[in-house]
Structure 1
Amino acid sequence: MLLLPLILFLLVGSGIGQQCQIATKCVTDYAEDQCWVTEQLVPNSHIFNCCPSCQVTSGETPPVTGCKPPYNCLPDGSYGPVQCKGDMFTGRCFCSDGNGNRIFGQMWRTDASQMTCACSRRRAEMEVSEKRSVTLHCTRSGDYEPLQCDNGMCWCAEPKTGQPTAGPVPESDMRQLPCYSTSKVGSQYLRRCESLVHAIAKIQQEQQDHGTNFLGNPVTFCDYDGSYGPYQITNGIAYCTGLDGEILGSWQVVSSEMTGMNCNCARDTIMYFPERGMTVTETCQPNGNYMPNQNVGNVFYCVDSDGYPTTDLLDQWPPGGCSNIISNSK
């Protein structure tokens, strides 16, 4: 299917509703049999309502649990995209999904006045609703990068809102976009980690097609900016890793016991706090998470998964430790 480069309109009832607001090409004719069992083909549903896509028709997104102060809450009771913790010296703001779960994107609190997390929130929502790998690129603060590509199409985006400013065009023509930069993007949109994930997936598919399943295949996770995620799995061991995929310190755990692993403490200790000229004073667990029970000499306190206190300074830890307090905090 090829859409001519002009503004398209679609009749809606007795009126005319604008559907495709910018020039575009749709390079692939989708067919119903290309959609998953739980999806159906929906016309004018992708790339600013210009192109068809497969949309989920069954299955539900996680329910909104209800946001309460002191969290930043939206009028519908969901969590705001930006959630801040700590004081103005060591405090940070993190991107959050609608249920208050931390997602990619953070800034130091003193620098976060213009933080929106619009890109991180949108990408997280798309990954849940569309059940596919999304390749929108977000900045470290959760905003949109100027050049965006997804599902074979590329366009320019306004960093704070994600609104398109040029395009979309097929990914092969991304160099024609005014937001394309050879020095920043290079010859391909996908970055090293993302390219590796695609290569591994292709190898695994070929192995399955030939009736083999090699358990030693590495498992790579990428963050929303295309860098390596906080942990990677090699030979059954999950290691905390930096943005370049290199192993951080000695934080590791066997992959069968990595449930809840986030490496927040490991990354803060090696990366984020040193960048700020500061030092992490809290203790990490062997898997790179923050130890919930913290103490300095005879002073005791509890921290959440981001390392911020959830109690006042105590003479002793609460009965049963800090686990009950942690489970009731985001």
Structure 2
Amino acid sequence: MSRAPASLRLLALALVVAWGRGDYLADSILCDDIEAICIYDDLPYVTNDTVCGDKHQFLNPARCNCGSMCIKYLEEGEECFMKSLISFPHNLCGPSLECIPVDGEKGHCMRNPARKCLNETLSYEAAQEEGTLGPGEYKPNCDEFGRYAGRQCSPGSTCYCVNTEGERLFGEAPITEKDTMDCACASYWEETESRGLNMGLRCLPNGNFDTLQCADKMCYCFDPQTGSISFGPFPDYMMEDLVCYDEAIHGSIYKRPCELALDEWESQESSEVVTIQESARPVCTHDGYYAAVQYEEGYAYCSDFHGRQIEDFKQEIYLSDGLSCNCARRRYIMEENGLGSNKPKCCPNGEYKPLQTRGLLAYCVDTNGNQYGPAVVTTDITSLPCYSEEPCPTVMEY
């Protein structure tokens, strides 16, 4: 059965409204006649970005999200209500704030210290106010829900990607690039791999999406904001004609050093001629470069992006479970970007020494090189909980 034009349906609806609202029947429960439904319910159908003025715009929770609902964000310390007699609130605690009860049904908009990222932020601000901040402390970066934002940083060195629980992900860059890091690609790969998948979009070394993507001999420009193709696709031999192509980033071929080495290694393995592999399988990251930990001749060694060993950092393979080389990689990135004056001190296997010093101060650090606990003058170094005569595992020579 053919449907009547929208104008006739609206006219019929107007007549129904005039005769009695109770006789109106929507086309379906799927809101496919949303304009008519909104008009019938005396709710605005038109939405725009300025309708709420200085308030914040949300979809109206009424039937079919007719129009907009304008809600004021309360600031930290402002009074809020835990319960309301009305269906929908007129105001809400702003980003990173929760309505925490103080007396009876009333509360105040506060940062909840039960959330780890906010707890660390509050501790940082308290130390800052007291003038007791240590040289290895950096204010955590929390999202609007009080969880860890994708990008975290350490003072004067590098920024790196984490998940919402603060656990380290792929992606790191000098701190000078922090304003351009969103770690969206690092988060994308955490979700992708959690589903058991191992193929997807390529990243940049800092954990962002590469805006140039190639697959099946076709290349295109990718818009991370919309998750769609913004230009192309072109055949891969026309990659340089894409508007997102950057010679400094992409070079003359799409594949990067580790991807090329992996192709070569796998071609030897699949050859009809039986050969003995003289080198271990390259370990690549989501940017096509070498992972921080590589393997060779009974050792796991700390690698730069091109597969070269960083200084003398290595560990016997049988002791290398959980090896990250976080400290070695940070030293390398800092050196390459002119930030080498305060490079961290690493154990022989490339992990952070639990105790770090800077100037006349000493302090303990976690596996990401971030300070925890107080900083003390170096003469009181033995008072620190991480102090040890032998803080690093021994690397045995064969």
Larger deviation, residues 250-259 vs 194-203: 194-203
Gaps spanning 5+ residues in structure 1: where?
1-12, 16-65, 323-330
Which of 88, 105, 109 aligns to 2:171? It is 105
Is the Cα–Cα contact under 8 Å of residues 363 and 371 in structure 2 kept in the other structure? Answer: yes
Provide the C-alpha distance between the structure 1 equivalents of 2:216 and 2:165, rounded to a whole number of angstroms.
27
TM (norm. structure 1) is 0.62
Q: SS at 2:374's partner residue? A: coil
The alpha-carbon deviation at position 255 of structure 1 amounts to 1.4
CA distance in structure 1 between the partners assigned to 2:212 and 2:383 by the alignment: 49
1:81 equivalent in alignment to 2:143: no
Tell me the distance in 2 between the aligned counterparts of 1:186 and 1:274. 19
Q: Does 1:136 pair with 2:205? A: no
Select 1:118's aligned residue among 184, 203, 213. 184
What corresponds to 1:261 in structure 2? 323
Native 8 Å contact 1:135 1:150 kept in 2: no
Mapped to 1, the partners of 2:366 and 2:323 lie a distance apart of: 13
CA gap 1:278/1:183 in 2 versus in 1, 3 angstroms: closer
- Seen in structure 2, the aligned counterparts of structure 1 residues 93 and 184 have a Cα distance that, compared at 3 Å, is closer
8 Å contact 1:118–1:160 — kept in the other structure?
Answer: no
Structure 1 pair 178–296 and aligned structure 2 pair: CA distance change class (3 A): closer
Structure 1 residues 282, 111: closer, same or farther in 2, change over 3 A? closer
Contact 2:334–2:343 (Cα < 8 Å) also in 1: no
Moved more, 234-243 or 77-86: 77-86
Alpha-carbon distance in structure 1 between the residues aligned to 2:233 and 2:31: 29
Instruction: Give 1:218 shift.
Output: 0.7
Go from structure 1 to structure 2 and tell me whether the alpha carbon gap of 1:283 and 1:161 turns closer, same or farther (over 3 Å shift).
farther
- Matching residue's letter, 1:141: N
Q: Secondary structure at the match of 1:195?
A: helix
Does residue 286 of structure 2 align to residue 237 of structure 1? no
Contact 1:119 1:142 in 2 (8 A): yes
- Kept after mapping to 2: 8 A contact 1:216/1:236: no
Write the letter of the residue equivalent to 2:370. Y
Corresponding position of 2:373:
311
Counterpart for residue 260 of structure 2 = 195
Seen in structure 2, the aligned counterparts of structure 1 residues 249 and 115 have a Cα distance that, compared at 3 Å, is closer
What amino acid does structure 1 have at the position aligned with 2:117?
K
Is the Cα–Cα contact under 8 Å of residues 148 and 157 in structure 1 kept in the other structure? yes
Indicate conservation of the 8 Å contact 2:202/2:288, yes or no. no
Give CA-to-partner distance per residue, 1:5-39, whole Å, 9 cap, x none. xxxxxxxx896xxxxxxxxxxxxxxxxxxxxxxxx
Q: What's the CA shift for 1:115?
A: 2.5
Matched, 1:284 2:346: yes
Amino acid paired to 2:202 = L
Q: What CA distance in whole angstroms lies between the structure 1 residues aligned with 2:199 and 2:188?
A: 13
Bigger proportion of residues as helix: 2
Aligned-residue CA RMSD (Å): 3.9
TM-fit CA distance, 1:281: 5.1
Q: Tell me what 2:24 maps to.
A: none
For 1:223 and 1:302, locate their aligned partners in 2 and report how far apart those are by CA, in whole Å: 30
Does the 8 Å contact 2:201/2:209 carry over to 1?
Answer: no
Sequence identity, in percent?
29
- Secondary structure class of the residue paired with 1:272: helix
Structure number with greater Rg is: 2
Q: Mark the CA change 1:250 to 1:160 in structure 2 (over 3 Å): closer, same or farther.
A: farther
Correspondence for 1:68 among 113, 117, 123: 117
Contact 2:158 2:175 in 1 (8 A): yes
Corresponding residue of 1:302 = 364
Q: Which runs of 5+ in 2 are unaligned?
A: 1-29, 33-114, 122-139, 389-398
Deviation at 1:104, TM superposition (A): 3.0
Q: 8 Å contact 1:269–1:279 — kept in the other structure?
A: no
Matches of 2:177 and 2:254, distance apart in 1: 28
How many Å apart are 1:202 and its aligned residue?
Answer: 4.3
Spell out, residue by residue over 1:188-224, the C-alpha distance to the aligned partner (whole angstroms, 9 max, x if none). 42112112123323444x38x99x8968641312233
- Contact 1:106/1:141 (8 A) holds in 2: yes
Say yes or no: does 1:251 pair with 2:313.
yes
Q: Is the 8 A contact 2:313 2:350 kept in 1?
A: yes
Q: Deviations over 1:155-195 (max 9, x none)?
A: 20236765431234665775664434677545542112112
1:75-131, CA deviations, whole angstroms, 9 ceiling, x for partnerless residues?
566532112333xxx154322223322223334445423431222322332233242
Is the contact between residue 304 and residue 329 of structure 2 (CA under 8 Å) also seen in structure 1?
Answer: yes
- 1:328 aligns to what? none
Distance 1:99 1:203, change over 3 A: farther
SS at match of 1:189: coil
Partner of 1:21: none
Deviations 1:208-251 (A, max 9, x none): x99x8968641312233322222211122111122221112111
Cα distance change of structure 1 residues 291 and 192 upon mapping to structure 2, 3 Å threshold: same
Tell me how far apart the structure 2 counterparts of residues 133 and 111 of structure 1 sit (CA, whole Å).
Answer: 27
